[in-house]
Homo-oligomer: A and B are copies of this chain.
Amino acid sequence: MKILDCTLRDGGYYTNWDFSKELVNNYLKSFNDLPADYLEIGYRSNPMNEYLGEYFYCPVYLLEEIRSLSKKKLVIILNEKDVRPEHVSALLSPCIGLIDMVRIALDPQYLGRALKLAAEIKKLNFEVGFNIMYMSKWKNYGGFLDEIKYVDEVADYFYMVDSYGGVYPGDVIETIKMVKERTTCPIGFHGHNNMELGLINSLTAIEHGAEIIDVTITGMGRGAGNLKTELLLTALNAKEGLEVDFNTLSILVDSFEKLQKQYSWGSNLPYMVSGANSLPQKDVMEWVSRRFYSFNSIIRALQNQKKGIKDN
């Protein structure tokens, strides 16, 4: 079983993908002594109109510096919606020798397009991971389910992403079964923590054959955040005897808890409601960050979305 820490990539949703050098250096050095297999550093992206920080583009000088500091396999991720096969060479050739795996974050309806993108990436000899969103709604995507069988040829990991943070262990088991009937590609799980189910869903996924789990330090990540690295490591240490250097881990956690005081990621009532009802947490995150919305009005808006009533 492998562990992928994506704190910088997923945590970037809070810091707009800017991180201090001190924080990142401590992060990389700490992980050299911790049991994770992959570190996902950020995105590689074509130029965007809005301002987005260093870890949204991962320029080569940054990747070189990170490569020199880390003993782990390094990962970057692409947003499928923004990248086409013809961009692959320019975006990824500079990463050869610096990055080990390229992941593709995708909406299940575009799996066909993503397969072509993955084929281009494979030509550059990267490992490829598919991070496929909205797992709680996969059953509604007939075409997607039919295309899963083509994943074997181009992907090293097939991730189920609990985008809404609303799946339960029973759903994880059912979805793994559905995937295993269609592909032999190793399965991954990326959980969100809206309902505080990140740990149990991940342990359930492992028990039912998932081979890689995503985590972030203190759960830093979009919306309600992710399964906490420190929680999975502590659980696996106690249950399976996984070796964990808790002194290193505690210093690392401490450095991100300082940021958490500033940005306040983690679950709260609006995120619980959005998770429990499979509503987009992106909306909630925007409402919560605009101070003039009270929690009350956010929850009313969520309840209206659920009923199909438009917000004011």
Question: Given the interface contacts A250-B269, A295-B254, does A276 sit within 8 Å of B199 by beta carbon?
Answer: no
A299 touches B246 (CB 8 A): yes
A303 within 8 A of B: yes
A231 touches B200 (CB 8 A): no
B residues less than 8 Å from A121 (CB atoms): none
* Distance in Å: Cβ of A264 to nearest Cβ of chain B: 10
B residues less than 8 Å from A231 (CB atoms): 195-196, 267, 272
* Distance in Å: Cβ of A229 to nearest Cβ of chain B: 10
B196 touches A276 (CB 8 A): no
A252: nearest residue on chain B (CB-CB)?
B269
A198 within 8 A of B: yes
B residues less than 8 Å from A276 (CB atoms): 234-235, 237-239
Q: Considering the complex, which residues of chain A in the window 65-84 have a beta carbon less than 8 Å from any beta carbon of chain B?
A: none
The proximity string for A residues 262-300 relative to B, scoring 1 for CB distances below 8 Å and 0 otherwise, is: 000001110011001100000000000000001110011
B residues less than 8 Å from A166 (CB atoms): 238
A145 within 8 A of B: no
B residues less than 8 Å from A294 (CB atoms): 250
A178 within 8 A of B: no
Q: How far is the CA of A267 from the CA of B246 in the complex (A)?
A: 16
| Total copies of this chain within the assembly | 2
Q: How far is the CA of A109 from the CA of B250 in the complex (A)?
A: 36
B residues less than 8 Å from A198 (CB atoms): 196
What is the interface residue range for chain A against chain B? 35 or more
A197 within 8 A of B: yes
B residues less than 8 Å from A246 (CB atoms): 269, 273, 299-300, 303
A249 within 8 A of B: yes
* Distance in Å: Cβ of A288 to nearest Cβ of chain B: 12
Q: How far is the CA of A299 from the CA of B234 in the complex (A)?
A: 11
A169 touches B200 (CB 8 A): yes
A49 within 8 A of B: no
Q: How far is the CA of A296 from the CA of B246 in the complex (A)?
A: 8
B197 touches A250 (CB 8 A): no
A254: nearest residue on chain B (CB-CB)?
B295
A253 within 8 A of B: yes
In this complex, which of A168, A235, A267 has the most chain B Cβ atoms within 10 angstroms of its Cβ? A235
A295 touches B250 (CB 8 A): yes
Q: How far is the CA of A78 from the CA of B252 in the complex (A)?
A: 41
A10 within 8 A of B: no
Q: List 19 A-B contacts (CB under 8 A).
A: A169-B200, A193-B196, A195-B231, A196-B198, A200-B200, A231-B272, A234-B269, A234-B273, A238-B277, A239-B276, A246-B273, A246-B299, A246-B300, A246-B303, A247-B299, A249-B269, A250-B295, A250-B296, A250-B299
13 further interface pairs, Cβ-Cβ under 8 Å (given A196-B228, A247-B296, A247-B299): A168-B200, A193-B196, A195-B199, A195-B235, A196-B196, A196-B231, A234-B273, A238-B277, A246-B269, A246-B299, A250-B294, A254-B295, A257-B268
**4 interchain residue pairs of minimum CB distance:** A238-B276, A234-B272, A196-B196, A250-B295
